């Protein structure tokens, strides 16, 4: 049996993720791991690997940077940023994310749940949608004194 995977190793893998290292997904995720973000909900390391491969097909130079981390017996929380550029149109994005992780006895991820705001981080950057999102936000926000 190999040594358990550490949170430091997982963070390093996220921060250095590349098309070549996506194949290492089963080292960091349990076979039946669950993954959920605003666009995907899948089960299994193979399905999670497909999400990462798809990311590299859709955007140029994606880079994760973990800015904070907390570990407990129940799991971990990461705060991070994903910076990337859309392949179509070249628009740049910075997505701020909170990630909840749970682990098995070998330290592999059994639950990966990303929380981020696509309205602010994606839709708000698109010219027509961005204007609409800012209008809606201004109508729903509490007025300033």
Number of domains observed in the structure of the chain:
1
pLDDT tier for residue 94 given thresholds of 50, 70 and 90: confident
Q: Which residue has the higher pLDDT, 139 or 46?
A: 46
Residue 90: CB atoms within 10 A of its CB come to 8
- Confirm whether 90 is domain-assigned: yes
Between residues 85 and 143, the one the model is more confident about: 85
Question: Does a structural domain hold residue 17?
Answer: yes
Q: Which residue has the tokens 């800012």?
A: 134
Q: Which domain holds residue 94?
A: 7-117
| Beta-strand pair 75-86/29-36 | unpaired
CATH of the domain at 49: 3.10.450.50
Q: What is the pLDDT of residues 64-85, one digit of tens each?
A: 999 999 999 889 999 999 998 8
pTM: 0.83
Tokens at residue 82, please? 């994903």
Lowest mean pLDDT across 23-37, 72-86, 106-120 = 106-120
Return the bridge partners of 82, or none: 64, 95
């Amino acid at each position: 049996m190999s040594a358990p995977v550490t949170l430091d190793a997982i963070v390093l893998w996220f921060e250095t993720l590349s098309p070549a290292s996506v194949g290492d997904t089963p080292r960091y995720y349990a076979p039946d791991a669950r993954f959920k973000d605003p666009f995907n909900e899948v089960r299994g390391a193979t399905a999670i690997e497909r999400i990462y491969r798809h990311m590299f097909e859709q955007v140029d130079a994606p880079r994760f940077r973990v800015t904070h981390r907390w570990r407990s017996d129940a799991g971990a929380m990461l705060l991070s940023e994903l910076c990337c550029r859309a392949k179509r149109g070249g628009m740049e994005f910075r997505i701020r994310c909170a990630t909840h992780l749970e682990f098995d006895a070998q330290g592999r991820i059994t639950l990966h749940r990303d929380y981020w705001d696509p309205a602010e981080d994606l839709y708000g950057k698109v010219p027509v949608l961005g204007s609409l999102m800012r209008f809606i936000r201004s109508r729903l926000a509490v007025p300033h004194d």
